[in-house]
C-alpha cells in the first residue's frame, strides 16, 4: 500500500524533490553570499553568485519540466476527445468550435470561477446564510 502511495505521489509531482532541493540550495547559497558581504570577502561573494546562477537555472529547468509533466494528461485528454469529436456545436448560436478551443476556454473558465467562488463563499458565510447548519429552533 505504501508503494502505491509513493507511486501516486511521484506521478502527481515527479520533480518535487528536485525542485525542493534546488530551492533549499539556492537559499543556502544566498545566506552564504550575505555572510560573504558581511565579512567583506569579494572573491567568495563572486563565486557564490556564479554558483547561485547555476542553481537558479537548474531550478527553472526543473520547474519547466514539471510543468510539462502536469500538462501532458490534458494534452492526452484533448487528443483522445478530438479523435471522436474534432469539433463541437454550440447549441443556441449554432457555432462550430474546435475541441481544443472549447477545452481551453472551459479550463480557463473553471480556474477563473474558482477565484470568484472563494470571495463569494466568504461573504455568504459572513452573512450567515449557510451558518453552522443548525436551525434556530434547535439552538438553546
Q: Tell me the per-residue pLDDT of 100-109, one tens digit each, with 9 for 90 and over.
A: 888 888 888 9
In 3-state terms, what secondary structure has residue 123? helix
At residue 47, the pLDDT reads: 93
**Average pLDDT of the chain, as a whole number:** 83
Which of 23-27, 60-64, 127-131 is predicted with the least confidence, judged by mean pLDDT?
127-131
What's the CA gap between 50 and 47, in Å, rounded? 5
- What's the pLDDT band for 131 if we cut at 50, 70, 90? low
Residues in the chain: 140
**Of 62, 75, 79, which is closest to residue 21 (Cα–Cα)?**
62
| pLDDT of 22 over the 70 cut | yes
**pLDDT value at 50 more than 90:** yes
Q: What is the pLDDT of residues 63-80, one digit of tens each?
A: 888 888 888 888 888 888
Report yes or no: 48 and 26 within 8 Å, Cβ to Cβ. Answer: no
Most confident of 44-48, 79-83, 110-114, 128-132: 44-48
| Cβ contact 22:64 at 8 Å | no
**In whole angstroms, what is the distance from residue 63 CA to residue 101 CA?**
26
CB atoms within 10 A of CB 48: 21
Three-state SS at 90: strand
Residues 6 or more apart whose Cβ sits within 8 Å of residue 134? none
pLDDT class of 11 with cuts at 50, 70, 90: low
Amino acid at each position: 500500500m505504501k508503494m502505491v502511495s509513493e507511486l501516486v505521489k511521484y506521478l502527481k509531482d515527479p520533480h518535487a524533490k528536485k525542485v525542493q532541493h534546488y530551492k533549499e540550495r539556492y537559499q543556502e547559497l544566498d545566506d552564504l553570499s550575505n555572510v560573504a558581504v558581511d565579512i567583506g570577502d569579494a572573491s567568495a561573494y563572486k563565486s557564490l553568485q556564479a554558483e547561485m546562477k547555476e542553481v537558479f537555472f537548474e531550478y527553472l529547468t526543473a520547474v519547466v519540466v514539471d510543468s510539462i509533466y502536469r500538462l501532458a494528461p490534458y494534452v492526452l485528454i484533448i487528443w483522445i476527445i478530438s479523435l471522436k469529436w474534432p469539433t463541437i456545436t454550440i447549441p443556441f448560436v449554432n457555432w462550430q468550435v474546435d475541441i481544443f478551443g472549447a477545452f481551453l476556454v472551459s479550463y480557463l473558465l473553471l480556474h477563473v470561477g474558482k477565484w470568484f467562488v472563494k470571495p463569494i463563499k466568504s461573504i455568504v458565510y459572513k452573512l450567515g446564510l449557510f451558518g453552522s447548519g443548525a436551525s434556530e429552533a434547535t439552538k438553546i
